[in-house]
Structure 1
């Protein structure tokens, strides 16, 4: 049996840890504890790197570059979003613009051990379109909704046809009450029927907004105009 790849992070840390242990006369149990911790830490970091790569986030934006004071979203709402507790409750987020916020939330979710996926409506449509060719759409949708957080960015930049509406509906329907979805758009979700076929848009939006936090902004300055919640969600701007 090849053990060359067994416990790679422990093996990497061992020379330095053992040298320190000898010089400081550590108890053997302490040496074992530290080496095991190094292995666990390394595996966790590798998992996060893998999840980030699979998520295909667009630009690497995180909360390190997020300027909370410059956002039109109330500070308590921002802070509540950052707890990610709403993801644990399978609640959704619909926000005007704010792609930076969406990506920062996705990165934070990955940092905390969750899986995420990032699409534009165009890339989602293309992804499911390819699956249609070999009749694996259900499998593709199931894989997407194994993620804890699904982001669909920039809806409404261009009119969308039947294929886009079907792709959007399929994912929203499969995620309904099971996974959290972030949608960013220059439109209120109730206006999605102006850019895609009405029946599918209405069905998708009904499911999206049933357990959703909605943060609307207006104008080039992204001034906050409204922050409301759907049914069955904990308000983001209130404690608890």
Structure 2
């Protein structure tokens, strides 16, 4: 299920935010100790300003309590997103803020539909195949950032890092636990399949994750070859079984055109001018 971020309403007073111009005395030591023991750091940080403003503007006690609890909830939500973003190991920080939907060859309606993330709530997959530089990784990373902003968990791999992760687990006999941990994420991304030849170990690692996630979690794959051609870069038997599960509930997109990176470089936008 997709969890949307609740909008925190502010007090219905003329001054909606605590008045920073008022001097906020420190909390009484006993109250400060209680808030520390209850592990409410965001409420504790906001309380001095909120209380002095509430007193000056004669807020209703229930409104004071609501605003303080809302500060704690908002702080925890933001902290959780920071933790999930760090754990996701996203590569470059590219989001929809830097995405040019008109420049992309992906139909705009498709972009908008995928950006709702409803497909993740249905445990559907996404594959984007096409030449290098056509925005595949950028678009999927933007989707991943959006998912984290909606309190979903994301795990990002290249085929090489996924192979290394599962290979390390094979060495100590923890493959099942490792694959189960990966599949705790709501969205699992495997980026740039096909850039390098994939041997049996890579094919096995990819299959294990796709099989474990099948109809339970969403997998997004980017590749410079269509999934139907994965048997050209990995053993055919395991490639067939993997693609069968991957594409059963999948949105399949093919990109085309010249590399955006190369176009930017040729136009002189790839670097900033040197200064002397």
- For structure 1, the 5+ residue unaligned runs are 223-240
Shift in Å at residue 3 of structure 1? 5.5
Asked if 1:15 is matched to 2:53, the reply is no
**Residue of structure 1 aligned with 2:105, choices 60, 72, 78:** 72
Name the residue aligned to 1:169.
207
Shift in Å at residue 219 of structure 1? 3.8
Name the residue aligned to 1:139.
177
In the alignment, the residues of structure 2 paired with residue 203 and residue 96 of structure 1 have an alpha-carbon distance, to the nearest angstrom, of 19
In the alignment, the residues of structure 2 paired with residue 13 and residue 71 of structure 1 have an alpha-carbon distance, to the nearest angstrom, of 44
Hey, which bits of structure 1, 4+ residues long, moved more than 6 A? none
Shift in Å at residue 19 of structure 1? 1.3
Q: Is the 8 Å Cα contact of residues 35 and 41 (structure 2) preserved in structure 1?
A: no
Shift in Å at residue 217 of structure 1? 1.7
SS of corresponding position for 1:49: helix
Name the residue aligned to 2:126.
93
Q: Is the 8 Å Cα contact of residues 105 and 256 (structure 2) preserved in structure 1?
A: no
**Residue of structure 2 aligned with 1:210, choices 238, 248, 252:** 248
In the alignment, the residues of structure 2 paired with residue 62 and residue 12 of structure 1 have an alpha-carbon distance, to the nearest angstrom, of 31
Asked if 1:187 is matched to 2:225, the reply is yes
Root mean square deviation of aligned Cα: 1.4
Asked if 1:122 is matched to 2:155, the reply is no
Asked if 1:81 is matched to 2:114, the reply is yes
Q: How many residues align?
A: 222
**Residue of structure 2 aligned with 1:104, choices 121, 142, 166:** 142
Name the residue aligned to 2:36.
4
In the alignment, the residues of structure 1 paired with residue 189 and residue 98 of structure 2 have an alpha-carbon distance, to the nearest angstrom, of 19
SS of corresponding position for 2:251: strand
Name the residue aligned to 1:56.
89
Name the residue aligned to 1:232.
none
In the alignment, the residues of structure 2 paired with residue 2 and residue 117 of structure 1 have an alpha-carbon distance, to the nearest angstrom, of 37
Name the residue aligned to 1:226.
none
In the alignment, the residues of structure 1 paired with residue 251 and residue 171 of structure 2 have an alpha-carbon distance, to the nearest angstrom, of 35
Asked if 1:37 is matched to 2:75, the reply is no
Higher strand proportion:
1
In the alignment, the residues of structure 2 paired with residue 205 and residue 114 of structure 1 have an alpha-carbon distance, to the nearest angstrom, of 25
Name the residue aligned to 1:155.
193
Shift in Å at residue 175 of structure 1? 0.5
- For structure 2, the 5+ residue unaligned runs are 1-32, 131-135, 261-276
In the alignment, the residues of structure 2 paired with residue 21 and residue 56 of structure 1 have an alpha-carbon distance, to the nearest angstrom, of 42
In the alignment, the residues of structure 2 paired with residue 39 and residue 138 of structure 1 have an alpha-carbon distance, to the nearest angstrom, of 37
In the alignment, the residues of structure 1 paired with residue 229 and residue 258 of structure 2 have an alpha-carbon distance, to the nearest angstrom, of 19
TM-score by length of 1: 0.90
In the alignment, the residues of structure 2 paired with residue 52 and residue 30 of structure 1 have an alpha-carbon distance, to the nearest angstrom, of 33
